[in-house]
Amino acid sequence: MFLSKLNTVKQSLTPSENKIADYIQEHLAEIKTITSQELANQTGIGQSTIIRFSKKLGYESFRELLADLSAMEAREIVEQELEVEEATESMMKKIVRQIQDITAITCQINEPEALEKAADWIRASRTHILFGVGSSNLFAEYLANQLIKMGIPCMTSNSAHTIYSLIDNADSDTVVFLISESGESAEVLKAARLAREKRIPVIAMTRRIRNSLYNYADLLLKTVTFDTQTRLNVTTMRCSQLYLIDALYLLMMKKEFEKRNEIISRSEQLADTAVSRETGERSRSRGG
């Protein structure tokens, strides 16, 4: 999974770290048995920088990075980025690998305690405001629908002004859940600042690379995406958010399963009754 991990942090690498990454990729065959000191000698970069590079990729040590390289299958060495002229079968297989790797990395970089705390904050709050910009707002709406289905009232909107007003008029028994892949969206940052001024806790779902939203978040759920040269990664770049939202939803279901399951069952019964009534009225209307 080395290449996948590397792709998720490329934008944050320093020149020295990029040099390390390039050297490893150019010497994959012989690099698997090298020590951090030997790599430092080969690249002319300090050993401490190599250790920091390993940790930035999510490894506990350089030795763990080497173990991952040793386990690397031949297919992972092949260029992962989707190509415009690529055959459909090849594209389909790459998408599967990207989704598998992204979800695995997302799992690794998020401590279970972070999801537990997010679930507890949501359960303990009376008011829930969810917001994102563009496609991130679709995930805010998706999470809101999942929570509402469990009987947890939520408010969300694609209008930044509506969100600002909701936060400004919220009381202390509120939690704000913000989703931003970049963590630099002006609208999301303003919502975060308003929540901070109101002393309302903020749960932020944003990329693992430090960004401006980190400064306002009381709790972080970290996402990853592959850095690519083309724009052919739109599908896979969002599966990290979806993984975390589904994990959060299932965790909250587990915490109060009987209560939440009863609420969902009741909601489904009401929906079925409404559909049956509407179908009957249409039939009577046609018959009349």
266 assigned to some structural domain:
no
66 and 183: one domain? no
Range with the poorest average pLDDT among 19-33, 107-121, 177-191? 19-33
In the predicted model, is pLDDT for residue 219 greater than 70?
Answer: yes
Task: Report the CATH number at residue 38.
Answer: 1.10.10.10
Q: Helix crossing, 239-255 with 88-109: angle to 10°?
A: 50
245 and 121: one domain? yes
159 and 218: one domain? yes
Residue range 118-134: mean pLDDT, rounded = 94
For the chain, how many structural domains are there in total?
2
Task: Report the CATH number at residue 221.
Answer: 3.40.50.10490
Sheet of strand 127-132, all strands in order from the earlier edge strand to the far edge: 155-156, 127-132, 174-180, 202-207, 219-223
In the predicted model, is pLDDT for residue 140 greater than 70?
Answer: yes
Residue range 106-128: mean pLDDT, rounded = 93
Give pLDDT, residue 139. 94
- Kindly report the pTM of this predicted structure: 0.74
Q: List the domain range (segments joined by +) for residue 242.
A: 109-255
278 assigned to some structural domain:
no
In the predicted model, is pLDDT for residue 36 greater than 50?
Answer: yes
114 and 249: one domain? yes
156 assigned to some structural domain:
yes
235 assigned to some structural domain:
yes
In the predicted model, is pLDDT for residue 152 greater than 60?
Answer: yes
89 assigned to some structural domain:
no
36 assigned to some structural domain:
yes
Give pLDDT, residue 251. 92
Q: Provide the pairing of β-strand 174-180 with 202-207.
A: parallel
Q: Which residue has the higher pLDDT, 270 or 163?
A: 163
151 and 72: one domain? no
Q: Which residues of 229-247 are buried (b: 16+ CB within 10 A; e: fewer)?
A: eeebbeebbbbbbbbbbeb
Give pLDDT, residue 24. 85
Give pLDDT, residue 159. 95
In the predicted model, is pLDDT for residue 155 greater than 70?
Answer: yes
CA distance 271 to 42: 66
Residue range 4-15: mean pLDDT, rounded = 83
Q: Is the dihedral of CA 114, 115, 116, 117 positive or negative?
A: positive
Q: Which residue has the higher pLDDT, 79 or 255?
A: 255
Chain mean pLDDT for the chain: 85
70 and 113: one domain? no
In the predicted model, is pLDDT for residue 54 greater than 50?
Answer: yes
Give pLDDT, residue 74. 46
CA distance 184 to 13: 18
The three-point CA angle 30-34-37 to 5° equals 140
Give pLDDT, residue 265. 85
Residue range 82-93: mean pLDDT, rounded = 79
Residue 203's H or E segment, with its range, is strand 202-207
**Model confidence over 57-84: pLDDT tens digits?**
888 888 888 887 776 654 454 445 667 7
91 assigned to some structural domain:
no
46 and 149: one domain? no
DSSP state at residue 229: S
Give pLDDT, residue 282. 66
18 and 126: one domain? no
Q: Is 191 in contact with 178 (CB distance < 8 Å)?
A: yes
In the predicted model, is pLDDT for residue 156 greater than 70?
Answer: yes
53 assigned to some structural domain:
yes
178 and 247: one domain? yes
33 and 129: one domain? no
Gyration radius of the chain's alpha carbons: 23
Beta-bridged to residue 130, according to DSSP, are 156, 177
Residue range 33-37: mean pLDDT, rounded = 85
Q: What percent of the chain has pLDDT over 70?
A: 85
